[in-house]
Each structure stands twice: as structure tokens, then as C-alpha cells.
Amino acid sequence: AAIMGRLLESSAVTIWTDVDGVLSADPRRVPDSYVLPEVSYNEAMELAYFGAKVIHPNTMQPAIGFEPQIPIYIRNTFNSSFRGSRIFTSSTTHTDRDRCVCGFSSIEKMAIVNIEGSGMVGVKGVARRLFGTLETIGVNVVLISQASSEHSITFATSMSQSVAAKVAIEEEFHKELKQNHISTIEVVSPCSIIAAVGDGMHLATGVAGRFFTALGDAKINILAISQGSNERNISAVVLETESTRALRAVHAAFRLSHTKVRVGIVGI
């Protein structure tokens, strides 16, 4: 549809699907999720990358890759009277903490691979060798987290590729393992990557604190964290068994969920 819209120089492209639009979270897992009336291209790209199924990044590319950019409307075939979501150049950027995050998404069936060792500290080329090895065998790295001390590197990939990744890393670093310069190569699975997305995140203070506090209050252990350089997303890796609870916790923390307050008055 986006290709045809570009070829015909359309003023807008409407994609009819089976949902009401782009939602603030997966409604099957977060009952309080709701349709976002407007989403920027960048926000839609981030949400799609982190698992939102309503639209694929490649679908948007013809509309946003050239000038003038074409707005995309996501509407429901079975609820045609509903306005749906508009994806366009930029949404209204909010600077307050309650509205700077537009939504949450997740990638399931992931694994994290931890490489640790004192022999990695200050040694040039370790990251190049690691990710060069993964590229050679076709492993897709979704998330990277490295300790500032250079003592450890953690990356996330799909569960289906994690075993091959570990074997390849062990072969590449067999000398370092033998000499105990690298002490641990560990795979943890199944995991989920939970991501908060919003254009206004880089202008608001305390977003990361609120995100991680919500997970901590929900007693959810964070296995790895990452933040995009554009400050448009914050990601945390959690065990897959805790994924739904994590999504609900962060969704509520940014007041994207409805809050019910019950007040009882007792007196004479």
C-alpha cells in the first residue's frame, strides 16, 4: 500500500487491518492499553522493532524514505467508523514524565549471552572479534550492554540462535578461556526485551528512574539494560515468565493504565 501511495503521489495511505490502530501496549497482555491517535514515524519504527505487530518497518519505508513524507493511517476493517491511528512526520512532543512515553512493546523468545573476564579489561579488539564472529555465522544481535569497566559484555539474540552463538564464541576465544582471561560465557533464556518508546523522552527528566523503579516495585529482576543514543527508547531484559507482569507495571507507572480509587468514609 505504501509503495502504491508513493507511486501515485498520494496525500495519505490507509492500511486496513484487524485492530483499531497502534496501541500503547499489547492488549492481550495489558488490558488497559488503548489506541494512540497520533504516532510519529520514529515512534512507530521503534515500537515495530521491539515487537509491535500492527505495522512492519518495511511497510513504512516507502512513505517516509522520500520527500514529501506521506502520513499513514491504521484502521480496523471490522470497525470502520473508528478513526484509528495516524502515523506522520512528528507527533506532539511531551516534556512531562506522564506523557513523554507513548507506549511499550516487547520481544519474546529471546536469550542473553554474558561474556565475563578480567582479561577483557583494556584489551583492544575484543568487541570487534566478538561481533565479527557473530556476523560471520549470521547471528542477529538485538541489544548490547557493556560494563564501563570492560569486564563484561552482554548481548541479546533469539533463543534459536543462542546455542550457535555460544559455540562460535567459545571457538573464537578458546585461548582466553584456557588461560582464564575469560571466565564465563553464559546463556540465559527464555527472556523478553521490554521497551519504553516516546519522542519526548529526551526532553523529560526521571524517565529511566521511573521505568526501572516500576520494575523494581513489581519485584522483577532486570538482566540487562540498554538505551538508544537518540533517547527515544529504554529497554530492559527480563525473564519471559515475568514479561507480562513487567509490561503491566511500566504501563501503569507512566499513567497509561486507568487507575481506580476506592474511598470509604466512616463516621457518626
What is the residue-wise DSSP string for 166-231? HHHHHHHTHHHHHTTSS-EEEEEEEEEEEEEE-GGGGGSSSHHHHHHHHHHHTT----EEEE-TTS
Residue 98: per-residue pLDDT:
56
In tens digits, the chain (268 residues) has pLDDT values of 788 888 888 899 999 999 999 999 999 999 999 999 999 998 998 998 887 778 887 888 888 878 888 999 999 999 999 999 999 886 555 555 556 899 999 999 999 999 999 888 888 889 999 999 999 999 999 999 988 777 899 999 999 999 999 999 999 999 999 999 999 999 999 999 999 999 988 888 889 999 999 999 999 999 999 987 778 899 999 999 999 999 999 999 997 554 555 566 776 6
Of the candidates 198, 193, 267, 200, which has an alpha carbon nearest to the alpha carbon of residue 236?
193
List CB contacts of 252: < 8 A, sequence separation 6 or more.
Answer: 32, 214, 259
d(CA 119, CA 232): 34
* pTM summary value: 0.86
**8 A C-beta contact, residue 17 and residue 77:** yes
d(CA 60, CA 2): 7
- Domains of the chain and CATH, by start: 2-91 (3.40.1160.10), 110-188 (3.30.2130.10), 191-253 (3.30.2130.10)
Residue in the block written with cell 506523557 = 99
